[in-house]
A and B are shown apart, each in its own frame.
Chain A
Amino acid sequence: MSASFARGPYIGRSIARRPELLRFIKGQGRYVDDMALPHMLHAVVLRSPHAHARIVGIDASQARQAHGVAAVITASDIGHHLRPIPVRLNPYNTLDPYLQHPLATDRVRYVGEPVALIIATTPYLAEDARDLVEVEFDPLPVMVDAESEAVECPLFDAAQDNVASRMTAGFGDIDAALAEADEIIDFDFRTGRDSAVPLETRGLLAHYDESSERLAVWGASKVVHFNRSVLASMLDMPEHRIHLIEPDVGGGFGARGEFYPEDFLIPFAALSLRRPVKWIEDRMEHLLAINHSRQQTYRMKLGVARDGTLLGIRVDLTNDMGGYLRTHGIIVPEMSAGFFPGPYRWQAYQCNARAVMTNKTPTGTYRCPGRFECNSARERILDVAANRLGMDPVALRRKNLIPAELMPYTVGTRALGEDVVYDSGDYPAALEEVLRLSGYEALRAAAAPQDDRKIRGVGVGCFTEKTGKGPFGGARVLVDATGGVEVRTGASSLGQGLKTSLAQIVADVLTVDPRIIEVRHGDTDLIPFGVGSFASRATVMAGNAAHQAATAIRDRALDVVARAWSVPVDAVHFENGVARGPGARSMTLREIASRSGPAHSGDPQGTLDVTRYFRSDHMAYSHGAVVAEVELDRLLGKVTPLRLWVVYDVGTVINPDIVAAQVEGGAAQAVGGAFFEEFIYDEDGQLLTGSFMDFLLPTADVVPSMQHRDLQLSPSPLNPLGVKGAGEAGVAGTGAALANAVADALGKTWGDQVNQLPMTPQRVWAWAGLDHHSGMDGRQTAIDQHQATRSAQKQSQGATAEDMK
């Protein structure tokens, strides 16, 4: 299978001197906090210190009198504009009771919920005034445990309990499949509450320009068109009077750029005060206020045949949603339920999922949402099953991976409103390649422990990854009178190399140097429709739209040339950006541009300005496999990730360096999720890991060295370029492989206890049995157990125990 486009010199190449990089290297990036406008005011948010409380009263009189204060805005000041923030993806009206208003009215439901906005001439004075706002709270019972069945206090008056949604997914006869199984494995797995922590916190600058009667908002990103439409509807303004602009963005990873309370409050303040208002989120409020994600519990029952054939699995899934449903609604548990089956064939699968409201920060998506979690849970139970059967974990996977000849493969579940159908991929090839790349057999053999400070463990994880979510992506390509080429798109750039990728695609069509192509994005004035950048979709959607628009431009240009020369169109072609035809005649893009357009003869519509929207109703699925090697210092519970190998197939690769950086960055974030990052709450709903002292990001010294390889065997048949998204492939299976590696290091007896991410030292120490086998007495047993496990696995592969020596 090959993609249906003519490959030029740029697609597939890591072009040097990427135009979008130089600015950053020279410190010329422009982030929202780099911007200032005359007479600008600064806003700070007063946030609830309570996890659940009634607001009895707010007295802002003292704050309003304070030095430098322009306004204090509470819910009552917003009046009829105070409306719930709608769900962006898969909205159902049953979710309406759980939506958040930009400011709390009579009740707060998490620590950090916005209660008032204070606007002053400097951020210092705004913070001083914030301390003067007096809010009287009447505390209510706090719900922090989504797994608890108790409903001491429903969080929402309009709702009967704290379960916002119950979902089911599945196929086949699960009872029959489990009844048929030789072994039944019950296993629970939890993933910790986590979030993207982009280097740049959120921030907004809003300004209402009275001369043009337009409201401009800088600092929007990700989904600027959707956010404009929400803002327009909340402010009762037509969309054309609102202009959302994405400046440079220091990372998004799903969390940044959604419509948050501040995305209403700051424009509202600017509109009300008729002065520019800036708000820059500080890191402490960032950790409380940005969407959290990942907090899920899986209770699984797996039925497997003695030969390792996977028969069926029943999954009970609980997703802690936090205090409100935000713009992602319930898609995270929906995706977990829909994608849990992964790259394997199952006779039957049944998932019951609950989206439970708690008094914690509301949740949304974080890179690979719902799949980092379900992949980790699934890959762990597969290793537990392999242990039980005395099989090598790889042998179990080999037996069950969907073979390439079954592509396209209909899984039997749904996600994001469509049937899950894997479009292409050679899943076994990815596994074999990562085994080869890592030298898996040698790693396993070398991993026999000599010293309990240095116990090696090796783990594998396989994954599929949905990408290229529709419904459409758009691009407008223009050639101006100077021959300059501009691409405008509704996709956004959160630092993922969008400009370079689109420029390479257009460059190949027009046979020009990609460095002369200007790609503009993230601006609602540029193009009327846009879906944005999320779900690994920008290159798939906007890339194909840009390809189509550029192709139309090329055809029109050739038509102009053919007419000018009075030759048939197929007698002219582009070479190095110049049209060439019979008799060594040539015409530059500039000359062509000067001959086209409404003012010229010929077709007045035939301008070198083409907008194309690429539509797709089916997602493209990338896939891959990961091997992780870790070292365990058992008595300390200390795990050092040593090496990672990631093999992936994302279809046609536009720029290998960009894809590689995506994979590496994603894998580093998976290390964070696997070992370090966790939002921990106490029983009163107070966030205990609310600063970088306690919410630990992976630093350079804990991110292992990585090798990765792009298979490029399986272009997507769903789009002309054959591309699949690459943004999440590094995360998808890496948490799973790391967890399996830690379990392997712990050995047979204790390894099966690895049932939670992040794998903190204390958890590893407890899994190692040291909390009840005090001190160093358990050491020898650990090594014996480890060797016993290895022996059993070796024997299952037909080797003898002597090979171990």
Chain B
Amino acid sequence: MKPAPFEYHAPETVDEVLELLDQHGFDAKILAGGQTLGPLLNMRMAAPEVLIDINRVKALDYQRHEDDGGLTLGALTRQSTLEDDAQMPQRQPLIAAAEPEVAHRAIRNRGTVGGSLAHADPAAEWPGLAVALDAELVLQRHGGASRTIAALDFFEGALATVIEPEEMLTEIRIPPWRNTSGWGFHEFNRRHGDFALAGAMVRLDLAADGGCRGVAIALIGVEDTPIRAGAAEQFLRSQRVDDAALQEAARRAADNVTPMHDIHASADYRRSLTRTLAYRALADAAARATRIPS
């Protein structure tokens, strides 16, 4: 449980970080909150030659509630900062609901939003939130233009993203939350704070007549990346939102996933969890949504 030798850098600006990444590329790892990388280093499951500690890069630690209702986060924003944000339940209720479920407080005190997204654990909450909320992720590289990636295009597989070795995730942009939208979040884990065996995050807009005006269903811990339940969303968009429609949407969500299997949950069990959790999240969202007058 002692890490292999590595070269350590502690830059203070984004430019310095990008320069180091440019220089070391694939051999370098960025150390943010260290809540995953720390254990991986100690277990020698990761042995990068170069460690770039970004904890002194103050310019990456910010969160802004924008005038239009959007939320902009620097990659180094600690999870606990969001948890403690008194405006969050009003302005981004899905984030407010999910944040306390991210591991444990001690981990949230150090762990960062950018780190969680870049690590891309398929069962983690933030990748799911990014997908559910249609977040945009900003990647920068030394001397080049930054690029902005939609969350749905960001995750490539378990622990794999589109970030190039020379790039760093610097900013997360969350679109405005409509205060008429309903939200639902249900995940199931063995103990509080464990990675979810499966989870569903829902954002739902209801028309004045009870029809569906828009829906996003994100699933975590089911496939090897967070996904949107496209078939279920498509079905629901053409429906009057009643219990039968929600049950059917949940069934379609479950029928259309290709679940992972591991020692905690078989594929069949995950599919069953998907259906149950998607239904519960949808039902909560429907109950919380305010019908929008047409």
Chain A: residues with CB nearer than 8 A to chain B? 123-124, 127-128, 131, 282-284, 635-638, 676, 680, 688-689, 691, 693-694, 696, 698-699, 701-702, 760-762, 765-766, 770-771, 774-776
Contacts and interface: CB of A to CB of B under 8 A. Distances in A.
B283 to A, nearest CB: 12
A638 B188 contact: yes
A771 B266 CA distance: 10
Contact of A635 (B1, B44, B194, B272): B272
Q: Which 3 A-B pairs have the closest CB atoms?
A: A282-B1, A635-B276, A124-B2
A775 B251 contact: yes
B181 to A, nearest CB: 25
A762 B276 contact: no
B263 A689 contact: yes
Contacts, number: 72
Interface of B: 1-5, 43-44, 188, 190-195, 197, 247, 251, 254, 263-266, 268-269, 272-273, 275-277, 279
Given A694-B263, A775-B254, A699 B2 contact: no
Contacts of B269: 637, 761-762, 765-766, 771
Contacts of B251: 775
Given A636-B273, A775-B254, A776-B247, A762 B43 contact: no
A298 to B, nearest CB: 23
A775 B194 CA distance: 24
Contacts of B254: 775
Nearest to B3: A124
A284 B1 contact: yes
A284 B265 CA distance: 23
Contact of B263 (A123, A127, A688): A688
Consensus secondary structure, chain B interface: loop
A694 B188 contact: no
Given A127-B44, A694-B263, A762-B266, A701 B272 contact: no
Contact of A770 (B2, B4, B272, B279): B272
Contacts of B247: 776
Contacts of B191: 676, 696, 698-699, 701-702
Given A676-B190, A691-B43, 11 more contacts: A124-B3, A128-B5, A282-B1, A696-B191, A698-B191, A699-B193, A701-B191, A761-B264, A761-B269, A762-B266, A775-B275
B242 to A, nearest CB: 16
Consensus secondary structure, chain A interface: loop
A794 to B, nearest CB: 31
A761 B197 contact: yes
Contacts of A131: 4, 44
Contacts of B197: 761
Contacts of B279: 776
A299 to B, nearest CB: 25
Given A284-B1, A694-B263, A696-B194, A761 B188 contact: yes
A82 B30 CA distance: 46
Nearest to B198: A636
Contacts of B277: 636
Contact of A699 (B44, B192, B263, B268): B192
Residue from B4, B190, B251, B275 whose CB has the most chain A CB atoms within 10 Å? B190
Contacts of A765: 269, 272
A635 B5 CA distance: 48
Contacts of A123: 2
Contacts of A636: 188, 273, 276-277
A118 to B, nearest CB: 12
Nearest to B193: A699
A283 to B, nearest CB: 7
Contacts of A693: 195
Nearest to B273: A636
B194 A776 contact: no
A285 to B, nearest CB: 8
B207 to A, nearest CB: 27
A752 to B, nearest CB: 21
B80 to A, nearest CB: 19
Contacts of A680: 263
A689 B263 CA distance: 8
A283 B4 contact: no
B286 to A, nearest CB: 17
A461 B191 CA distance: 25
Residue from A282, A637, A691 whose CB has the most chain B CB atoms within 10 Å? A637
Nearest to A688: B263
Contacts of B195: 693
A635 B268 CA distance: 13
Contacts of B273: 636
A422 B191 CA distance: 39
A688 to B, nearest CB: 5
15 contacts: A635-B272, A636-B188, A689-B263, A691-B43, A699-B191, A701-B192, A702-B191, A760-B190, A760-B264, A761-B269, A762-B266, A762-B269, A766-B269, A771-B272, A775-B254
A123 B188 CA distance: 39
A680 B279 CA distance: 32
B4 A128 contact: yes
Nearest to B186: A636
A44 to B, nearest CB: 9
A776 B2 contact: no
